[in-house]
């Protein structure tokens, strides 16, 4: 599985999604993982493209049948990675890029220990706060909670995570180039 599965983790505001969006289209052999969730679709989201939307009962059945690589409950909704999606993509010869929080990565590694971990970090907590404020999507209280969670997640990742690579996202183009280098298929070299 080495060089076939890549797991990116980052605190909210570290720029993981921006990096992924900037780079992934350059790698036609890499697909972006689709998670299952019980949350309602947002405007424009399509089942099977953005998420696999499930009822709570369907998701809990997936849990009981051990059909998820990893799963978690966040803000009252379930999120998880279906094993069938991963296995189908691998069978088609695809490589897969996952977006998992640091806790999900630990569980993912139990099933796929050869997955390559990529930790995306902001240059500083101060910069992270600035980015969250610039988004202008959250209240001051929510931003403070996100910052506290981000610090816990970064500490957890450093202490318990298996990340072969760490990208400090202080310059988007430089960080994107680092991600490209990591994702480059060694079989093409």
Q: Over the stretch 152-172, which tens digit does the pLDDT of each residue have?
A: 888 888 888 899 999 999 999
Average pLDDT of the residues in 66-93:
93
Output the pLDDT for position 189: 45
Inter-residue contact 82 to 37 (CB < 8 Å):
no
Average pLDDT of the residues in 88-105:
93
Dist CA 163 CA 104 (whole Å): 13
Token reading at 136: 């202008």
Token reading at 86: 């991963």
Residue 117 — pLDDT band, cuts 50, 70, 90? Answer: very high
Dist CA 52 CA 98 (whole Å): 15
pTM listed for this prediction: 0.85
The sign one gets for the Cα dihedral 73, 106, 49, 58 is negative
Total residues belonging to the chain: 189
E strands, 17-121, where?
A: 30-32, 35-37, 51-53, 68-74, 77-82, 95-99, 116-121
Domain 5-184 falls under CATH 3.40.50.300? yes
For the chain, the first-to-last Cα distance in angstroms comes to 18
């Amino acid at each position: 599985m080495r060089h076939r599965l890549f797991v990116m983790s980052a605190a909210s505001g570290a720029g993981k999604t921006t990096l992924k969006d900037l780079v992934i289209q350059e790698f036609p052999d890499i697909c972006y993982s689709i998670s299952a969730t019980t949350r309602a679709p947002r405007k424009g989201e399509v089942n099977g493209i953005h998420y696999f939307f499930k009822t709570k009962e369907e998701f809990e059945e997936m849990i009981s049948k051990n059909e998820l690589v990893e799963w978690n409950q966040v803000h009252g909704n379930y999120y998880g990675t279906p094993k069938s999606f991963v296995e189908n993509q691998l069978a088609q010869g695809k490589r897969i890029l996952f977006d998992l929080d640091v806790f999900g990565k630990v569980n993912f590694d139990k099933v796929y220990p050869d997955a390559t971990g990529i930790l995306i970090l902001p240059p500083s907590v101060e910069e992270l706060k600035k980015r969250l404020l610039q988004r202008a999507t959250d209240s001051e209280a929510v931003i403070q909670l996100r910052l506290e969670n981000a610090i816990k997640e970064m500490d957890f990742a450093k202490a318990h995570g298996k990340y072969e690579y760490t990208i400090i996202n202080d310059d988007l183009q430089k960080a994107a180039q680092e991600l490209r280098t990591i994702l480059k298929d060694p079989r093409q070299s």
